[in-house]
Amino acid sequence: MIKGFSKLSTAEKQKLILEHIGRESDQELFTLTRLGQKETEELITSFSENVISIFPFPYSIAPNFLIDGQEYLVPFVTEESSVVAAAAKSAKFWFERGGFKTEIIGNTKYGQIHIISDISFDLFNSKIEEYKDRLFAAVASINDKMIKRGGGIKTISLLDKSSQLSEYFQLNVGFNTCDAMGANYMNSCLEGIANEINSIFHNDPTLDAYILEVVMSILSNYSPENAVKIWVDTPVSELDDGRLGMDTFDFARKFVRAVEIAEVDVNRAVTHNKGMYNGIDSVALATGNDWRAIEANGHAYASKSGTYSSLSHATVKDDIFRFEAIIPMQVGTVGGVTALHPLTKLSLDILGNPSAEELMKVIAAAGLASNFAAVKALTTTGIQKGHMKMHLSNILSGLGATAQETELVKQYFSDKTISNAEVEYYLKKLRSE
């Protein structure tokens, strides 16, 4: 066991790690990714704990996203080969066919106060209604600021969960956090309301016979009422980009069938939705939003029927192809890392400093574009052809190829199937000549 690790200086932590892996002389391991700007490095390292270095990812742009008639350059942060290229290609394809259309489905996020009590639901609920003004007043100093921005607490309601867990109740609180993600605001309100409920139970003589325990108060990352609907549509005859390799109606039929498989088969659904989150997570990360919460939210929504299923759906009706999804997400464009990290601020500038709802639309478009590109590849050329073409540079870097070798290998594999083994074999052959 290591005691006091957090109290060590950065240099001391680095020294300990190098000793742990038996590479005491490799101090340059921690300087390979230095930014060269002390203030920026100090800012970024302040975001977390026990920091020993900075771990950079590629910062990319996918152009030609047309969303509700507005053109965007979309920042992506991802290490996965072909994600940005596929999304950009998909965006360009739909740009020429009217672009992405969106609709915001609500702006309510929820948090819960989780309570165990032997009180009846009817009596508990009547007390919540009786003292509701006190519950609002208990957090007025926090809530009033959000109200001035156009948001605030929207609803407070008691839910009876005792059929799932004995004596379990939830106080469900709905919030509108405007352009903020609002985690600190929501949690502060929930804790303040919970304290007031405790006070009410201790001071109302009609409740003396009952026991109440507040187990916890916490926001939920699940937000089915804070979501965006996004779709693309075009006549089936307009689906040909010159590389389908089949009739447009055959392609549309096969595409729809592939999505239907993801709707009914969990094995396919997980990978299908992962393809959507390739785009969503990349833009969320680039804009300083919590991609883990966004993804957990979506996966829960994909399971709302009781069975995990595809988030996207495809149809052909009256010779019109339509591809759509409803994606719940909680994002912010003010506060948190979005206000601190220089590249998240740059990302928002590139996007035109959007509101939270506008950012939801952009993130959803990145997701649907990525999903469309993946299903299109799967139902035409296969996923590996495009992916391995983009992955070739990574393979060559891993093999230590020179610039000249890289060019020769790329020329050789321009019309061939790419695999790690084949690339390594051909590179050895080149070097032996």
Which amino acids are annotated catalytic? 80, 274, 290, 387
d(CA 178, CA 188): 16
d(CA 91, CA 365): 8
| Unique residue bearing structure tokens 């590249």 | 343
User: Could you tell me which residues are beta bridge partners of residue 158?
Assistant: 171
Q: What angle do CA 329, 331, 332 make, to 5 degrees?
A: 165
* Distances from the Cα of 196 to the Cα of 8, 160, 187, 332, angstroms: 41, 20, 14, 29
CA nearest 311: which of 288, 292, 329?
Answer: 329
d(CA 397, CA 86): 21
3-state secondary structure of 163: coil
Please say whether the beta carbons of 368 and 283 come within 8 A: no
State which H helix or E strand residue 212 sits in. strand 212-219
Report the chain's C-alpha Rg in angstroms.
26
CA nearest 27: which of 46, 6, 52?
Answer: 52
Alpha helices in 100-247 (DSSP H): 121-130, 132-138, 140-148, 183-203
| Strand pairing class (212-219; 320-328) | unpaired
State which H helix or E strand residue 426 sits in. helix 420-432
Question: Which amino acid does the sequence have at 425?
Answer: Y
3-state secondary structure of 321: strand
Q: What angle do CA 384, 390, 395 make, to 5 degrees?
A: 95
114 is written with which tokens?
């989780």
